[in-house]
Amino acid sequence: MKGVKEKMALKDEILSDLFLHLPVSSAWIDLKQTYRFVTPAYADLFGKEPKELVGRSLYEFFPETKDRIEQGLHQAASAGEAVELNDLTPSLPGEPGHCDHFWNATLWPIRDSTGTTAGWMISITDLAQEVAIQTQLEETLAELEEERERLQMDVRERERIMSLLDQSHLDLAAQHLELEQANQYKNHLLTDLSHEIRTPLNIILGYGQLLQDEKFGKVTPAQRDVAQRIVAYTRSLSKLVDRLLDLSGAQSRPMPVLTTEVSLPQLLESLFASIRPLLRQRRVRLKWKDGTAPPNIVSDPIRLRRIFFNLASNLIKFIHHATLTISVRDLTEQRSVAVTLTGSGKQLEPLSDVFEDFFRVAAQRQGESTGLGVAVAKELLDQIGGKIEMNRRPRGHPVFTITIPYHPPQESESLLGQQEAA
């Protein structure tokens, strides 16, 4: 008997020494549910030394989970396999009341050589660190969510501001378009008024000068005074019209091209009849060059009158005491009609820039500055598909050749079609 006890004591000593060197938090529970062997890591969970736990009841340290531990021990002994127990609540020194701990335990049955349960091994895992990390992650996620919501609010606010800016931009663009259209209408009105007023003003000026020069007979001093005032007022108004043209000519909105059948000889005869007083005043003789009558063309009569009026009226001012020769030719191969205006007179200054906008030359009377109207005529001709060329005869006489197609570009509108529709 003494030998058996010695062997048992030796075995307990070996196991105790073994448990003292195990790096895990485990303990041996005997059949009375008291600690028999305890590792330092296990005892440290309770803030004690291993020897302070040996011989003490397991339930002393787990009073709130006694029933669950008992059930786990019986289940492990009956099944002969490990049993997991989660969320154990220990009773630790220095912690009054209920404290939150996150301990999980694993129970293994220990059997002797006959297969009878001789006790249990219990291993405890402290999840406090994992829970702390999880809690920290959850807090971080909550902060990130708050930051995301704040950023979304900032984005929505920025989108709202951008929407307001876009709307403001659209409003400004619409206002700019309206102002641009109003400016175009203004320029169009100024151009139309200027051109339409210019022709009757020149006629009034011509007749006034003829009356002043007694071309229709003797006039009384009172009549001469009235004629002088007519001429003065007409010249003043003409200068105002010229300033309006200079203001709006470069930006005026082109009128739509409205076409109809036109006889160029008849249009030219009517035009030159209207400026006959100017011809008399400048002592310019009009000469028509005979030739085969050209066919009627389809074009814009309003533009045609402006083109030939600009060229003829300014050229007449420039060729004082001279002859203006007019010829109309049919260019069958080119499917167009050419009108040539030739002015014969004294040697003229170079006209290399005659097609530039606002080009002006010095007139020979009273030191005036007058424009040849070629730039305006060229722009109008471009709109109806025509062209203009300027050459010189050997003596310096200017020759303007205006070529007009039988039919204008496709963008034009037909007055004949509008009349038929009406």
The pLDDT tens digits of the residues spanning 286-308 come to: 888 877 778 888 888 888 888 88
Q: What is the structure's pLDDT at 123?
A: 92
Closest CA to 327 of 292, 365, 374: 292
Q: Report the distance separating Cα 320 and Cα 190, nearest Å.
A: 30
Say how far apart CA 259 and CA 239 lie, in whole Å: 32
Closest C-alpha to 70, from 78, 86, 61, 59: 59
3-state secondary structure of 344: strand
pLDDT score, position 355: 47
Show the tokens assigned to 167. 């709307």
pLDDT at residue 26 greater than cutoff 70 = yes
Identify the band that residue 250 occupies on the pLDDT scale cut at 50, 70 and 90.
Answer: very low
* N- to C-terminal Cα separation, the chain: 141
Q: According to the model, what pLDDT value does residue 362 have?
A: 46
What pLDDT does residue 370 have? 43
Share of the chain above pLDDT 70, in %: 77
- Please report which helix (H) or strand (E) contains residue 371, including its range: strand 369-371
Give the Cα separation of 201 and 193 in Å (integer).
12
pLDDT of amino acid 352 = 45
Those residues whose C-beta lies under 8 Å from the C-beta of residue 11, and which sit 6 or more positions away, are: none
**What's 236-266 look like in SS3?**
HHHHHHHHHHHHHCCCCCCCCCEEEEECHHH
Q: How far apart are CA 258 and CA 2, in angstroms?
A: 139
pLDDT tier, 19 (very low <50, low <70, confident <90, very high otherwise) = confident
Residue 245's alpha-carbon distances to 194, 240, 361, 416, in angstroms, are 6, 9, 17, 31
Cβ neighbors of 5 (< 8 A, separation 6 or more) are none
pLDDT in tens, 332-341: 888 888 888 7
Q: Calculate the CA 405 to chain-centre distance.
A: 42
pLDDT computed for residue 4 by the predictor: 47
- Confidence class for position 313, pLDDT limits 50, 70, 90: confident
Percent of the chain with pLDDT over 90: 8
Give the model's pLDDT for residue 345. 61
- Classify each residue of 186-225 as buried b or exposed e, where b means 16 or more C-beta atoms within 10 Å of its C-beta: ebbebbeebbeebbebbbbbbbbbbbbeeeeeeeeeeeee
pLDDT of residue 368: 45
- Supply the pLDDT for residue 266: 87
Determine the residue type at 352: S
Is the pLDDT higher at 154 or at 363? 154
pLDDT tens digits for 99-136?
566 788 999 998 888 888 889 999 998 877 677 778 88
How does DSSP assign 22-67, residue by residue? --S-EEEE-TTSBEEEE-HHHHHHTTS-HHHHTTSBGGGS-GGGHH
* This prediction's pTM: 0.43
Question: So what's the pLDDT on residue 166?
Answer: 79
Quote the mean pLDDT of the chain: 77
Strand 398-405 to 336-344 pairing:
antiparallel
Top-confidence residue, 183 or 269 = 269
Question: In this structure, are residues 83 and 72 in contact, taking their beta carbons and an 8 Å threshold?
Answer: yes
Average pLDDT over residues 75-93: 84
- Quick one: tokens of 369? 């500055």
- Between CA 275 and CA 284 the distance in angstroms is 11
With both helix axes pointing from N to C terminus, report the angle between 128-212 and 301-318 in degrees, rounded to the nearest 10: 60
Give me the mean pLDDT over the 39-54 stretch.
90
